[in-house]
Amino acid sequence: MKKIKENRTSTIVLHNILIGVLAFIWLVPIIWLLCTSFSTYDGMNTSTFFPEQWSISHYVRLFQPDSVAQFPRWFLNTFVIACANCVISTLFILMVAYATSVMRFPMRKPLMNMAVILNLFPGMLAMIAVYFTLKTFNLTNNYLGLILVYSASSGLGYLIAKGFFDTVPRALCESARIDGCSEARIFFQMILPLSRPIVVYTVISSFLVPWMDFVYAKMILNAGISSQYTVAVGLYRMLDKSLINTYFTQFCAGGVLVSIPISALFVIMQKFYVEGVTGGAVKG
C-alpha cells in the first residue's frame, strides 16, 4: 500500500521539477558567462541578457597575447603548479589521515589538538610572514615559492579524509596484521583502494587549489610581470577599473576556457564517487 503511494507518477514529476528549477537557478550565471563570452562587444553588456551579435573573436584574441593578456602562458603556469601541488598535497593529506585514524601512538592526540589550534589562526596571518620569508630566500615571483605556499602546510587539511578512514572496518586491518602484513602494505594495498571516494575528493580539491586561489598568487607574484601570472591573477587583473571596459568579454572567454578542463575533470572524478566503496570490502 505504502510503496504504491510513494512511487506515484505525480510525486515523481514534482520531485524532478523541483530539481529542474534548482538546477536552473544554479546555472543562470554560468549561462550568462557563456553568452557574454560570445559577444562582439568588449565591455559589459548591461542592457540585455543575451548579446545582440555573436562571434568568437574574443576567444581568438585570447591566443594572440598582448602585454596585458597572455592567457596560454598563464594556463601553463597554473597547470604546472597545480600538478605539483596535487601530488604533494594528496600524499600529505592521506598520510596524515591514515596515521591519525588507523595507527595508535603516544603523540597522536597532541598532534591532532595542535592541528586544530593551528587551523584556528587566519591563514592570511601566516601568509604575510611566509611572504617575507620567501622574499628573504628569493623565492617570490617563481613556481617553487608558490608550490611551497600551496602544498607545504596541506597536511593540516586531513580531517575529512580521517573521518572517512574512521568508517573503514578495523577488523580488516586486524586480520591483515595477523597475516603478517606490514603497516605500509595495509595503507597502500588495503585502505587506499577501499577509500577511493575520499582519495578522489582529495585529488580534486588539491588540484583545484591553484586554479581557485588568487590571493596567495597575487601576494607571491607581485612583480607585475604578466608572463609569470597564474590564470587567476591574470584574469583578475583584466577586471581592474581601467581595463574592465576593454577586457570584460575576454575575461568571460578566458573563464570559459579555464572551466572546461576543470569541469571535464570533475565529471571523470564524479564516477569514482558513484562507484565508491560499494564494490568490495566487508561493510560495517
Partner 1 sequence: MEDQRKVSFAEALTKGDLFVKLSLLWMGAGYARRKQYVKAAIMTVLELAVILFTVNFAMQYIPKFGTLGTVSPVRSFNVDTMKNEFNDYDNSFQILLFSLFSFVVWAAFVAVWVKNIMDVYRLQLMEEAGEHINSFKEDLVSFKEEKFHITLLTLPVLGVVVFTVIPILLLILVAFTNYDQNHMPPSGLFNWVGFNNFISLFGGGGLTVSFGYAFVRVLGWTLVWSFFATITTYVGGILLSLLLNSKKTRLPKLWRTLFIATIAVPQFVSLLLVRNFFSNGGIVNTICANIGLTGFLQKIGLVSTSYIPFLSAPGWAHVMIILINIWIGVPYQMLIATGVLMNLPTEQVESAKVDGAKPFQIFRKITMPYMLFVTGSALVTDFVKNINNFNVIYLLTENVYTTTNQVMANSQAKEVDLLVTWLFRLTQDYYNYKMASVIGIVVFVICAVFTLIAFNRMIRGDKEGTYQ
Which residues, numbered 73-112, are part of the site for partner 1 (CB under 8 A)? Answer: 92, 95-96, 98-99, 101, 103, 105, 108, 111
Residue type, 96: V
Query: Is residue 167 within the footprint of partner 1 (CB under 8 A)?
Result: yes
The C-alpha atoms of residue 174 and residue 171 are separated, in whole angstroms, by 5
Query: Is residue 65 within the footprint of partner 1 (CB under 8 A)?
Result: no
Residue 222: HSE in the Cβ half-sphere, 13 Å Cα cutoff = 12
Query: Is residue 252 within the footprint of partner 1 (CB under 8 A)?
Result: yes
Phi, psi of 39 (to 5 degrees): -75, 155
Q: Among residue numbers 200 through 229, which ones bind partner 1 (CB under 8 A)?
A: 201, 208, 211-215, 219
Q: How far is CA 115 from the centre of its chain?
A: 21
**Which of the stretches 54-62, 69-77, 79-87, 234-242 binds partner 1 when contact is defined by CB under 8 A?**
234-242
Residue type, 89: S
Query: Is residue 284 within the footprint of partner 1 (CB under 8 A)?
Result: yes
Residue 251 CB, nearest approach to partner 1 (Å):
8
Q: Which is nearer to partner 1, 70 or 93 (CB)?
A: 93
Residue 67 CB, nearest approach to partner 1 (Å):
21
State the number of binding residues for partner 1 (CB under 8 A): 111
Please pick, from the candidates 60, 83, 116, 223, the single residue that binds partner 1 as defined by CB under 8 A.
116
Query: Is residue 30 within the footprint of partner 1 (CB under 8 A)?
Result: yes
Please pick, from the candidates 83, 144, 245, 273, the single residue that binds partner 1 as defined by CB under 8 A.
273
Nearest Cα to Cα of residue 211 among 88, 124, 83: 83
**Which of the stretches 23-31, 57-65, 66-74, 79-87 binds partner 1 when contact is defined by CB under 8 A?**
23-31
Please pick, from the candidates 38, 75, 207, 248, the single residue that binds partner 1 as defined by CB under 8 A.
248
**Which of the stretches 56-64, 65-73, 79-87, 116-124 binds partner 1 when contact is defined by CB under 8 A?**
116-124
